[in-house]
Amino acid sequence: MEKLGIPVMILLVAIAMQMVDCVEEGAKEVEEWFDKLPYAKQKVTKLHFFFHDRFAGKHNITAVRVAHGPGTDKSPTSFGLVFVMDDPLTEGMKPTTKELGRAQGLYAFSGRDELSLLMSFNLVFTTGEFNGSTLTILGRNPAVPHREMPIVGGSGVFRLACGVASAQLRSFNMTTGNALIEYNVVVIHY
């Protein structure tokens, strides 16, 4: 191994400790889970929550601009713009209602001639029976009233999940860019 600087070492140790902390089942348990899979019953789970994407305002900022292309600022579709988010997912429309989890990941303006986003993020659940489990969304999010995005996998209770996330814009502040989006998720898992 090459000599690593102290900050890098601390970071690596921190990552390793975090992994031990949050992975509740080790490789052996996962293997056993797969061995039992032929006898497992498929389940359908439906989830409903609100997603708050905030760039400004009195609440904490939850989405940050991290990159752009050479012509992004002149592009009518913001082509090339990339954001990273850690957006709260709440039970109700108001940001003060119970937080169910977070949407962590990124989105990129990937339409050159039309407004369209590539979404690549995890729904990280932090309460109730799904606490510690995640669902992974990877899909296209065009500027239409009803958006449909694929759920391509999951972890914890959502191992091998697949499904669909339906998103609908509920409010958008033209000044700040803050958005409130309603999500209905249907997933098949075991």
Ligand X SMILES: *[C@@H]1O[C@H](CO)[C@@H](O)[C@H](O)[C@H]1NC(C)=O
Residue ranges that bind ligand X, judged by CB under 6 A: 57, 59-60, 126-127, 131-132, 173, 175-176
Do residues 104 and 124 lie in contact, with contact meaning Cβ atoms separated by under 8 Å?
yes
In this complex, which beta carbon is closest to ligand X, that of residue 42 or of residue 96?
Answer: 96
Cβ atoms 169, 145 nearer than 8 A: yes
CB of 81 to ligand X, least distance (A): 20
Minimum Å distance from CB 173 to ligand X? 4
Helix, strand, coil percentages, rounded to 5, for the chain: 20, 45, 35
Please identify, using beta-carbon distances, which residue of 72 and 126 lies nearer to ligand X. Answer: 126
Residue located via tokens 């429309």:
93
Q: Least CB distance from residue 118 to ligand X, whole Å?
A: 27
Separation CA 51–CA 107 (nearest Å): 14
For ligand X, the closer of residues 18 and 131 by Cβ is 131
Cα–Cα distance for residue pair 49/177, rounded to 1 Å: 20
User: What is the closest distance, in whole angstroms, from the C-beta atom of residue 147 to ligand X in the complex?
Assistant: 22
Nearer to ligand X, 101 or 163 (CB): 101
